[in-house]
């Protein structure tokens, strides 16, 4: 189960070197801890968490960067790849699906906000 307080720690984190994702004691999360937190948050919200792993984020980041027009060198730096192995992580159709899913979520969020706004004026 995800622990409370991560969002506040990440928001309060100052720019500079060090881990981006930290626990409430400002200790960097390991990959395993991060994936456990994400899976716990998904389950808590009633969303499926099967198949989410550390590689999911490497695939997602590489795919999104490629879809956004990042150069091969930029993608390699992003994923800390030294070889051409990064090419195996890029999912062209996955990036398009992720973009479509993001748009659907934004539409749903906007519709929910409009519904809340109309109930306030009724």
What residues does each domain of the chain span?
A: 1-52, 54-122
The confidence score (pLDDT) of residue 71 equals 93
Q: Report whether 10 contacts 22 (CB < 8 A).
A: yes
As averages over each run of 10 residues, the pLDDT of the chain (122 residues) reads 47 67 80 86 88 84 88 90 88 64 65 50 46
Q: How many CB atoms lie within 10 A of CB 65?
A: 22
The confidence score (pLDDT) of residue 74 equals 92
Q: At what angle do helices 31-44 and 54-67 cross, to 10 degrees?
A: 90
**For 35-86, what is the HEC assignment?**
HHHHHHHHHHCCCCCCCCCHHHHHHHHHHHHHHCCCCHHHHHHHCCCCCHHH
Q: What are phi and psi of 57, to 5 degrees?
A: -75, -35
What pTM value is reported for the model? 0.53
The confidence score (pLDDT) of residue 73 equals 93
* 37-65 pLDDT tens trace: 888 888 888 888 888 888 888 888 888 88
The confidence score (pLDDT) of residue 8 equals 47
CA distance 12 to 22: 11
**Percent helix / strand / coil, the chain, rounded to 5:** 65, 0, 35
């Amino acid at each position: 189960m995800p622990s409370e307080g991560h969002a506040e720690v990440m928001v309060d984190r100052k720019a500079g070197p060090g881990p981006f994702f930290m626990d409430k004691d400002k200790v960097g999360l390991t990959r395993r801890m991060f994936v456990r937190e994400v899976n716990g948050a998904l389950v808590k919200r009633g969303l499926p968490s099967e198949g989410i792993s550390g590689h999911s984020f490497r695939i997602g980041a590489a795919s999104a960067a490629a879809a956004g027009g990042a150069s091969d060198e930029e993608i390699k730096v992003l994923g800390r790849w030294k070889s051409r192995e990064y090419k195996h992580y890029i999912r062209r159709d996955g990036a398009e699906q992720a973009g479509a899913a993001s748009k659907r979520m934004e539409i749903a969020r906007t519709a929910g906000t409009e519904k809340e706004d109309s109930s306030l004026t009724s």
